[in-house]
Amino acid sequence: MSIYNTYMLYRMNYLTDFGGIYRRYKREKGRWDSHLENTKQFIINSVEDKKGTIVVLGSGWLLDFPVDEIVNRFNRVVLYDIKHPKHVKSLAAKHSNIELVCGDITGGMIEKCFKLKRSQLKSDLFNIVSYLSSCKFTIDYKADCIVSLNILNQLDILLIDYLKQKGVKSDKQLIKLRKMIQERHLEFLSDYNHTVITDVEEEWYSDEDELLGVKPTLYADIREYKEQKKWSWNFDSSMTYYDDKKVILNVTAFNGFANP
């Protein structure tokens, strides 16, 4: 599903968030480096025996992606995000095997949420989970492997924030929705050889680095993926994500194989 509606993306905070990732990366002055290197190395190891077409979901600024290794190994590299920054467009212009797609990886939930009216949301009969349940992300070409690049729980976060702002009050429904979005993403991936890198929880710290609490960010069950690599991502030390605490993200990476 392609998205070209900049107004919608702006109103739903996707564009601000997109720029925010790069600004936070610069602000953290190297504190993201070990996470970015771990992600790149995990991808390199995962595709060691693969060639053909690779699809990258959540390519964004390509901060966490081993561009050279992948561009040289695969005949076709398809990058998906809601937007592609200038340097990624220049990269694609230089390499004939890179394709850029501006697409909604939730299969149209962004647009469906944007179309909702406050009056609909206020009705006791309205159920956001069933309203969005028909959305399905698909690709119509053969992919030899797919990388889900630090996006699994990003797919729900901005939608949930938007729905809360529009008036959805039921935390129970919103958690159900987060779970459904994440499960759908894993279901889509299960038809392909795939690599997933995702944060699974936030650790909160005080100014004096005292642990204040831990919050899950993953609602789908990933226990079936037996081999998991884990590390920490020093995500926000300047208290700009939350204004009263620093955030470390616990990250998990794993591989899955196409269903026979």
Tell me which residues touch ligand SAM (CB under 6 A): 18, 21, 58-64, 81-82, 104-106, 110, 149-151, 154-155
Own/partner contacts of 168-172, CB < 8 Å, gap of 24 or more, are 168/121, 168/128
Q: Which residue is nearest to ligand SAM (CB)?
A: 60
Smallest separation, CB 104 to ligand SAM (Å): 5
62 or 200, CB closer to ligand SAM? Answer: 62
81 or 236, CB closer to ligand SAM? Answer: 81
Tell me whether residue 203 is exposed, middle or buried, using C-beta atoms within 10 angstroms of its C-beta: 0 to 12, 13 to 18, 19 or more.
middle
Smallest separation, CB 92 to ligand SAM (Å): 15
Torsion angle defined by CA atoms of residues 55, 61, 65 and 66, in that order, rounded to the nearest 10 degrees: 110
Smallest separation, CB 64 to ligand SAM (Å): 5
28 or 81, CB closer to ligand SAM? Answer: 81
- Paired tokens of 30: 């190297």
Smallest separation, CB 102 to ligand SAM (Å): 8
- Paired tokens of 188: 């889509």
Q: Is residue 152 classed as helix, strand or coil in its secondary structure?
A: coil
- Paired tokens of 178: 């987060």
Q: Other CB atoms closer than 10 Å to residue 256's CB: what's the count?
A: 19
